[in-house]
Amino acid sequence: MVREVYGSGEAEAGMDRNMKPAWLEGLMGETFFGACGAHENRRKNEKNVFCLHCCLSICPHCLPSHRSHPLLQVRRYVYHDVVRLGDLEKLIDCSYIQPYTINGAKVIFLNQRPQSRSCKGSANICFTCDRILQEPFHFCSLSCKVDYLVNQGDDLSTILYRFDESDFTISQFEGLRMDGSEVIDDDIGPILEDHTLQCGHSSGGSRDQATSNSAISREPAAANDTVKKKKKGSGFLPGIVLSLSSRRKGAPHRAPLS
C-alpha cells in the first residue's frame, strides 16, 4: 500500500503546503530512548521506534499494537537521535544533508546538536545553525533542512515522497528482542563524539575521525579474541606449569657446611 505524505483530508482542506505533515513534525519533535510509560516495569522499554501512522514514539513491547502501521526505527549516535539514510530517503529528499557512517551504515541526524561555538567565514557551514560541514553539504540534520525551507517559504511537498508501507512493516524489527538482548549486527551504541571539521581543519579530518571511530569499535573484539586464544593455549602444558609451581614453593637445597 502506498501512503500519501499528506492525508486526503488535509489535501481537501487546502492545507498550506509550506506546513510540515504530522509524521514529519512528530519525528523531529518526539522524545526517543526514554522509558515507555505503558511498559515502565518491563526490560528493554526504551522508545526507539516511530509509528508513521500514529506519529508517536513507541518501545519494542508496543509493536504488537502497531502491527499494521508503518514503523521507522530510530537509533543513537553520540547521544543524539539518528535514522538510517536508506530508510529516511524513502520518505523525504535528504540531499545536501551531511550523513555519517557508523558501523557500515549511513545515518542522518534528526535535529541539530548544541555546539560550543560557530565558525563563519570561508568554511562550509550549515545554512541553519552554522555548524561546520564537509563539501558539498548544506545541512547538518533533517530539521535544519526542513526549517530552512519553511523559513524561505518553499513548498515542502516538493521534497516529500509517497512511500510504500511495505517498506516499513513490523517484520523489520524481528531482531529487536524484548528480553534485554539485541541481535541487530549494526545497532549503534554510544560512541566518542567526532568533532566534525573544527575551524581551520580540512574535510579529510572528519573522514579520518570517522575511520578512527570504526577502528575503536573493532579493537576490543580483536583483543578479546587474542585473550581467548591465550587462555585456550595455556592448557597444553599443565605438567610443566605444575612442576615450576612446586619448585618455587619447596624449601631451598643448600650444600652442607665444610
What is the DSSP annotation of the chain?
-EE-SS-HHHHHTT--TTSPPHHHHHHHHS--SSBPGGGTTSSS-B--EEETTTTEEE-GGGGGGGTTS-EEE-EEETTEEEEEHHHHTTTB--TTBPPEEETTEEEEESS----S----SSS-B-TTT--B--TT--BSSHHHHHHHHHHTT--GGGTB--EEGGGG-GGGGTTB-SSS-B--TT---------TT-TT--HHHHHHHHHHHHHHHHHHHHHHHHHHHHHHHTTS-HHHHHHHHHHHHSPPP-PPP-
Residue-wise pLDDT tens digits, 72-112: 999 999 899 999 999 999 999 999 999 999 889 999 999 99
Q: What pLDDT score does 3 carry?
A: 55
Residue-wise pLDDT tens digits, 116-173: 776 667 789 999 999 999 999 999 999 999 999 999 999 999 999 998 888 899 887 7
Rounded to two decimals, the pTM is 0.64
Q: What pLDDT score does 45 carry?
A: 94
Domain extents in the chain: 22-176
Check residues 244 and 81 and name the one with the higher pLDDT: 81
